[in-house]
Amino acid sequence: MNIAFDIDDTLCNNTVITNYLKKKGFDPYKVLTNFHIKNLKISQEHKNNIIDLFSSSHMVKLKPNPNAQYVIEKILSFKGNEVYVITARDNDMKAGTNKMVKKYFPGIKPKNINYTNGKSKASLLRKLNIDYFVEDNIEAVLELAPMFPKITFFVLSYEETPHNHETIAQMQPLPNVQIIYDLKEMLL
């Protein structure tokens, strides 16, 4: 089975980066869900600062979400399972991202870390023949739900999530979307 995970606020907690963006006056949700930073209408200095966050020592400071390492290890312990990372990050952020994945998730093969450069994840998920995808971005889940057999919407912190009850309720009737609040729930 091919299982893919988003990185930001799915496998890892972005608090370090979110705090920086808030401090600089950015809406972290918009920036973190639109990684094609070159298209943001902000100064080149701010673009460079954001890219630096994702490619520097800040990236290694990101910590795995609770139970993420356990879940990845458990999935990989079953013969035939392959774990992929699908992120909307730009190629500019590869070095820091790959280093962070290697540090916290050594079972994930470097060739299985994939970047969409801000484009939709749909074509990459199809190309990799992904059976199951775990994502925290509600817009991505709603876009992908009609196309894929199993998608999990991971809500890291219900209190902090920009998604309200009505938005989450949109996914309730989608039979292939599972809503979880702890990554261990996907193992049930």
What are the tens digits of pLDDT across the range 36-62?
Answer: 566 667 777 877 777 676 665 666 667
Give me the pLDDT at residue 127, please: 93
Measure the CA–CA gap between 34 and 102, rounded to whole angstroms: 24
Look at residue 42 and give its three-state secondary structure.
coil
Contact 126, 86 (CB under 8 A): no
Across the chain, mean pLDDT equals 79
Cβ neighbours of residue 85 closer than 8 Å, sequence gap 6 or more: 4, 5, 6, 7, 11, 101, 105, 108, 112, 113, 114
E strands, the chain, are 2-5, 12-13, 63-64, 82-87, 113-115, 132-135, 150-154, 177-180
Structural domains in the chain plus CATH codes: 2-13+63-187 (3.40.50.1000), 16-60 (no CATH)
Q: What are the pLDDT digits (tens) for 55-104?
A: 656 666 678 888 899 999 999 999 999 999 998 877 777 888 888 899 99
Residue 35 has pLDDT above 60, yes or no: no
Range among 4-8, 55-59, 111-115 rated most confident: 111-115
Measure the CA–CA gap between 147 and 129, rounded to whole angstroms: 12
CA distances from 62 to 7, 14, 15, 89, 121 (A): 10, 6, 8, 15, 23
- Provide DSSP, 117-170: TTS-SHHHHHHTT-SEEEE--HHHHHHHTTT-SEEEEE-S-TTT-S--HHHHHH
Instruction: Estimate the crossing angle of helix 15-23 against helix 44-55, to 10 degrees.
Output: 160
Give the other-Cβ count within 10 Å of 152's Cβ: 21
Which residue has 């979307």 as its token pair? 177
Q: Which is more confident, 188 or 94?
A: 94
Dihedral over Cα of 108, 109, 112, 113: its sign: positive
What does DSSP say about strands 177-180 and 150-154: parallel, antiparallel, or unpaired? Answer: parallel
Give me the pLDDT at residue 101, please: 92
